[in-house]
Structure 1
Amino acid sequence: MARKVSPPVDVRRSTRRRRTVSAYRDGERVVVLIPDQFSSAEEAEWVDRMLGRLSARDKRAGKGGDSALRARAVRLAGRYYPEYPVAAAPTSVRWVDNQNSRWGSCTPDDRTIRLSTRLATMPGWVIDYVLLHELAHLVVPRHGKEFWSLVERYPKTERARGYLEGIADASMSTPRGSRPR
């Protein structure tokens, strides 16, 4: 029987945190934030619980299906870029684990889009924004005025950009008392 391999986990303890526990993906690692006063047994229990929750979120977000992700991109392109039925149509859209400094990337020459698996646990409207951003690159490769006018057709553009900036800023800081597990 094959043994399921868990991702590396960093447990970060906080003296300011009293009861809440949270977790998020940071590249291939999982970061679990817990109160400093938790015992080793409580820590282990919460790490297992949070890994389960992240896995369930991944499934809900459709992370496992690149074909579902491509279908989502095609629907979004049809809705927001209807005048570009061919130009905004990707040949493939897939989740990748190797993007730690970008949320998504696009290769206009072969019409492929890749999204970081870090997005899979984020709200759907954030994933839609990143997909639309990358789809816009199929029409306009560079970040110019025409490109941004396409992206800004999505009504939640500013909200999604703020959300992603907040996540990026939060992952840059390491709380005191943190320690890898």
Structure 2
Amino acid sequence: MPSAATPAAGGTPAAAPGGDVAVRVRRSDRRRRTVTAYREDGGVVVCIPARFTAAEEAEWVQRMLARLAARDGRRRLGDDDLEQRAARLAERYLDGRARPTSVRWVDNQRSRWGSTTPADGSIRLSTQLQGLPAWVVDYVLLHELAHLLVPGHGEDFWALLAAYPRSERARGFLEGWSTAEAARTGAPAPAEDADD
């Protein structure tokens, strides 16, 4: 039995194929040609131009669900994988001094790549990073690990990241990727980092 979504502001619930995910369709008068989809609150939001017919909407919902499924198949590193990766990076680049209590993926970070809460040692990475090159994910993980040692973005912080040979390249990649996505979707680009 298909599950229905509660309409969000500007959103219309749609039945999902197989009934395993709630889909909300958001129409926008400002959106002219682009269609985007992302995960939110356990469901999927598909953003389409307001002028789309019901048939176009149905077609694009199917396309975007297929794209998300394909992307999920390519990119799924679990939380355990992230924790292991963080431990290796901390050992290699930070002399094992950064020891997070948890490292996990989160769906609710649409405006930043990662965040750290130094008080409890937790690190969260946006699921938007999934599917990006491993060296980019490693940079964001290392960035967040460094915040367990240095809370701000001063000289001491950047000195810690200097050991990672792809720091500048990864920062450039993330900046370019987020700028391109923002231009394509009209959504704000994620920031490199935010500290709690």
TM-score (norm 2): 0.65
Identity of counterpart residues, as a percentage? 56
For residues 22-61 of structure 1, what are the structure 2 equivalents within 5 Å? 25=38, 48-61=62-75
Q: 1:79, 1:109 → 2: CA distance?
A: 23
Alignment match, 1:5? 21
Shift in Å at residue 74 of structure 1? 0.9
Shift in Å at residue 161 of structure 1? 1.0
Q: 2:86, 2:127 → 1: CA distance?
A: 16
Aligned match of 2:112 in 99, 102, 111?
A: 102
Q: Larger deviation: 166-175 or 147-156?
A: 166-175
Shift in Å at residue 53 of structure 1? 3.9
Alignment match, 1:80? 93
Unmatched tracts of structure 1, length 5 or more: 15-20, 34-38, 177-181
Tell me: higher relative CO, structure 1 or 2? Use CA pairs within 8 A at least 6 residues apart.
1
**Other structure's SS at 2:111 match:** coil
Aligned match of 1:62 in 76, 85, 96?
A: 76
Q: Deviations over 1:76-95 (max 9, x none)?
A: 111222x2x2x311110111
Shift in Å at residue 112 of structure 1? 0.4
1:26 and 1:118 in contact (8 A); partners too? no
Q: 1:89, 1:53 → 2: CA distance?
A: 36
**Other structure's SS at 2:20 match:** coil
Alignment match, 2:100? 90
Note if 1:155 corresponds to 2:155. no
Shift in Å at residue 106 of structure 1? 0.3
Shift in Å at residue 40 of structure 1? 8.3
Amino acid at match of 1:132: L
Alignment match, 1:168? 178
Q: 1:24, 1:166 → 2: CA distance?
A: 20
**Other structure's SS at 1:121 match:** coil
**CA-atom RMSD, angstroms?**
3.4
Shift in Å at residue 54 of structure 1? 3.0
